[in-house]
Amino acid sequence: MTAPNNEPVYVCPYCEGQAGVGQDQCGLLNAAFVLAGLAMMLNIRLSYSSAPYALIRFRLPENLFSVFVRRMASALELWCLPSMLLGNIMELALKIYYQIQGYTQDFDNNFNLKPKEPTEIIIDVVGADNKGGDWTTITNYYRIETSKIPNLVDLASARQYKFWSIIFPSIITQWLNFLTYVILLVVYLMGDDQGHLTLFYLVIAISGFVFGINMVLVYAVDWNYIPVYIVGENSFPIVTSFMHYITTLMFGNRRKWNSDFLIVYIDIGVAIIISLVAASVWTYAYAYYIDTKIKAIILNMKNIVTPKRNKGTWANATVTLKEGGKCPGSAKTTVKAADCPIYTTKKEDLMIAIPIPKEDKKINDITLTEFCKTAGTKGWGGIHTDPKLTITKGGTITIEGTLKYNDGDKKCITITLTGDDNSTKGGPTDAIKKEHAPVPYGHVFTETFDTSKVHWPIVSPTLMVIVGMGLVYAIYPGIAPGMIVPFYLIDKIEMVLLIATFFPPIIVATLQKVPATKAYSPKAKYAGPEEGMGGWREYKGPSWEGGGPYYNWFWHFFDILMVIKISLAAIFIYSLHYRDSSLSRSIVNQPKMSTFLSIVFYMCHEFLLAIGFPGIIGNNGSTYVVLPAQYIGALFMIFLAFYSEGYIIEYKSHDPKHWPTEEMWYLFGS
């Protein structure tokens, strides 16, 4: 299906180009990843932010807040583990398949994968030698053969495999995410005044399975958009804060309204709407508008059929010969050849789309053979010694070569291919043209095991991710603020964090999107095929762009956030164990200090993740490090959270304030 301008209807209207290394400009994909991150965290936020209200809705006492939150969150997080492992296996299996099948990176197509045996292009240029100035079309011709021309068609097979193995499952999990919130709302409304706490708990837990695999698949789809995805993850707190504020204004009068019930009800309703929009946009981006367009040289391989039944097209060719005993020679003759067929070894119709480069692209790995019928054995079947094919930024194809004859003479040849608008074979044709070509599955970024060297500074962002994820729920919110802050302040701390957590990923994403600061962002800038991404070090831009040096090592200063976070965790535990110490008295139940330290602890978590994930990618860790680091962080997060829950229960069992003896003073005669 095509539009009036001959462009396919379902080509993405929001970007030009194709997915690949460093490609993060598509407006539709940016929106899809932001919304995916926003919808991803909804169930975790429902477990934490809405916990004080859900506690009251299910008629549980306030002193069970810490245990209630940890039980809900731990169940959700535990179910993440098997699904995250499944997602990692799916992504790893695809890369292993690519490796076995011999797929390699195509530098000219943003490092997407091409097959081991890409399409071979054969060009037969009919011309003549310059004997007596008599140019005829029967005396000689030139054959050019190469499989090194960058061709969008060759990328389709790898992209199709990724679509069915990674992207299509991610579309399903996006819709399952929406479905879990619908089920959660139905369960929440059941049970009259007491509700069905066990069923609510079960749905939250099962939603963790969807959450886990969904998160891994989103990371596996395209790591270039991870910074904006993290923006989405941290946007929901401010949305929740706004909704809580509006809901409190409207239904805060507990004498008139069942406020706690309504707040959670509205939270789930908002989650349903957001997840529906997120799933719809994700489907549009990766199903409906999955193709893109790119400016290319297009060869329609269907206008001619060779004697061997190969499909091809006609073209014009201008041949320039230089002779004179050496190369380049002094004598120069130019002729416009006729009937120049371009064809492939494939038997079916297909469209070859060669991306027009920003700078002239030279390809050395070609074969250029000259056949001379009138010269006897001299030059018959001669192979040029240094042929190269140039694709210019103006959209032309030029072949150059040097032929050495038996008598020592040399002849230089330059062949320029152009479109054939009045072919002698079949009338007018637009077989070769320069225009926007559709890129099948252009939104799909394919990669196998990265060959770029992983930079040693990757240790820093990797530890940031592991510490940022692993330690957070061991302390927050069960211990801090749950056990060191008065209960009435917990909701206020949540309100502050719901707004504050929005800013770390926004700052990082802004650094990445603004051209002037992109080279200094945690993700860094692409530095070239050998270096990969620039990393947290001094580096220069790619050779065709220039720029630099960029001093990006300053991100290591943020390692101090790991020290602060670990230190605060130790301080909180120490303060609970040694209640008579001066440190404990200055923190526990001291509203200002305990609130401040709780906020600092959680903000360390947010900054570590906002910097760490792009930092891993910026140090060439997108293939080998980012998903394992995420999984290790999740393991620590979940199991330390269980230790935290057990610690809280055990601590309260030894705390006299929680002993069931408050009204038994009369037994002792007091």
3-state DSSP of 252-321: CCCCCCCHHHHHHHHHHHHHHHHHHHHHHHHHHHHHHCCEEEEEEEEEEECCEECCCCCEEEEEEEEEEE
pLDDT tens-digit series, residues 422-468: 444 444 455 678 888 899 999 999 998 876 778 899 999 999 999 99
> Given pLDDT bands bounded at 50, 70 and 90, which one contains residue 405?
low
CA 469 to chain centre: 20
In 420-503 the beta strands, taken as DSSP E runs, fall at 432-439
**Closest by alpha carbon to 467, among 569, 554, 556?**
569
Does residue 116 have a pLDDT over 80? yes
Cα–Cα distance measured from residue 305 to residue 424, given in angstroms and rounded to the nearest whole number: 15
pLDDT tens-digit series, residues 14-34: 999 999 988 889 999 999 999
For residue 538, give the 3-state DSSP assignment. strand
Structure tokens at 263: 């707040």
Average pLDDT over residues 584-612: 93
Q: Is-cis flag, bond preceding 549, omega within 30?
A: yes
Which residues, including other chains, have CB under 8 Å from residue 306's CB and lie 6 or more apart? 312, 341, 343
| Per-residue pLDDT, 643 | 83
Q: In Å, what is the CA distance from 80 to each residue of 15, 173, 211, 465? A: 34, 13, 7, 17
Placement of tokens 């989103």 in the chain? 218
Of 44-48, 117-121, 343-347, least confident by mean pLDDT is: 44-48
> Given pLDDT bands bounded at 50, 70 and 90, which one contains residue 231?
confident
Average pLDDT over residues 627-653: 84
Placement of tokens 């190469």 in the chain? 146
pTM over 0.85: no
> Given pLDDT bands bounded at 50, 70 and 90, which one contains residue 145?
very high
Average pLDDT, the chain: 83
User: In the Cβ-directed half-sphere of 169, how many Cα atoms lie within 13 Å?
Assistant: 23
Q: Are 174 and 36 in contact (CB under 8 A)?
A: yes
The percent of residues above 90 in pLDDT, for the chain, comes to 34
Which residues, including other chains, have CB under 8 Å from residue 376's CB and lie 6 or more apart? none
Nearest-Å Rg of the Cα atoms of the chain is: 33
Which residues, including other chains, have CB under 8 Å from residue 24's CB and lie 6 or more apart? 30, 224, 225, 227, 228, 512
**Closest by alpha carbon to 620, among 100, 114, 223?**
223
Does residue 182 have a pLDDT over 90? yes
